[in-house]
Amino acid sequence: MASEEKAPETEVDAAEVGLHNLKPAPGSRKDRKRIGRGHGSGHGKTSGRGHKGYGSRAGAKDRTRFEGGQNPIHMRMRKLRGPNKKMSMPFEPFRTHTQPVNLSDLERRFEAGAEVTPETLKAAGLATRRDVPVKILGKGSLSKKLSVSAHGFSKSAREAIEAAGGTVVVTSHGGRPDRSQG
């Protein structure tokens, strides 16, 4: 009966698909681990807890900060007084808190002869964090004469600004000129 043609199998009959016959894809679901169900399960007898020790006992908790009995890091570190100081628990003792601004940023955002201060840097979208000192770094080149005042300068940035005919003024964190650094 070659004259009878079958419908292509790519079409799915609407009667076959329904909530009653949906199944997850093979291999996408895994049975839960049933512990304490005999040696053959692989998790029998001690139920994956090992032999003796604190972890094998009922009610044993895996405490955060517990380092197996050795002196934990929060007790090894020095304590500084004060509840809300950044340095009360100094886990980042070598970090410097400054906002970096490169020479290439000054070249791109400021016109020749402009006065660059932390306020104008903020207006230009460069040093936007409040109460964090600004440090000018020497990445890039500077061809414009600028009068730059900031809280700190790298040696190469200072040299590049002065070589372009500009001036460098180091200000204290309060915004006034710092007398200690000449």
Question: pLDDT tens-digit profile of 24-65?
Answer: 999 999 999 999 999 999 999 999 999 998 889 999 888 888
10 occurs within a structural domain: no
What pTM was estimated for this model as a whole? 0.47
Complete DSSP assignment for 94-127: T----EEEEHHHHHHH--TT-EE-HHHHHHTTSS
Q: What is the pLDDT of residue 76?
A: 86
Contact 138, 119 (CB under 8 A): no
CB 128 within 8 A of CB 108: no
Question: Which tens digit of pLDDT belongs to each residue from 132-170?
Answer: 899 999 898 888 888 999 999 999 999 999 999 989 999
24 in any annotated domain: no
With a CB cutoff of 8 Å and minimum separation 6, the contacts of 139 are: 102, 103, 104
The candidate with the shortest Cα–Cα distance to 148, out of 105, 96, 106, is: 106
- Is residue 110 included in any domain, yes or no? yes
**What is the reported pLDDT for 88?**
59
- The answer to whether position 5 is within a domain reads no
The answer to whether residue 84 sits within a structural domain is no
Confidence at residue 154, expressed as pLDDT on a 0 to 100 scale: 92
Question: CA distances (Å), 35 to each of 8, 30, 44, 57, 148, in order?
Answer: 49, 15, 6, 15, 69
Question: CA 173 to CA 179: how far, in whole Å?
Answer: 12
pLDDT above 50 (res 181): no
Asked if the model's pLDDT at residue 6 lies above 60, the reply is no
Q: What is the pLDDT of residue 89?
A: 56
Does the pLDDT of residue 176 top 60, yes or no?
A: no
Q: Residue 2 pLDDT more than 70?
A: no
- What pLDDT, on a 0 to 100 scale, did the predictor assign at position 157? 92
| CATH classification of the domain holding 121 | 3.100.10.10
- How many distinct structural domains can be found in the chain? 1
CA dihedral 162, 112, 122, 84 (to 10 degrees): 0
- Residue ranges making up the domain that contains 163: 99-170
Q: What digits encode the pLDDT tens for the residues 67-125?
A: 888 999 888 877 766 666 666 555 566 667 889 999 999 889 888 888 888 899 888 88
Residue 107 forms part of a structural domain: yes
Name residues whose C-beta falls within 8 Å of residue 20's C-beta, 6 or more positions apart in sequence: none
Q: Tell me how far apart the terminal alpha carbons of the chain are, to the nearest angstrom.
A: 104
In a domain, residue 67? The reply is no
Q: Please report the pLDDT score of residue 172 as a whole number.
A: 80
Q: Is residue 44 part of a domain?
A: no
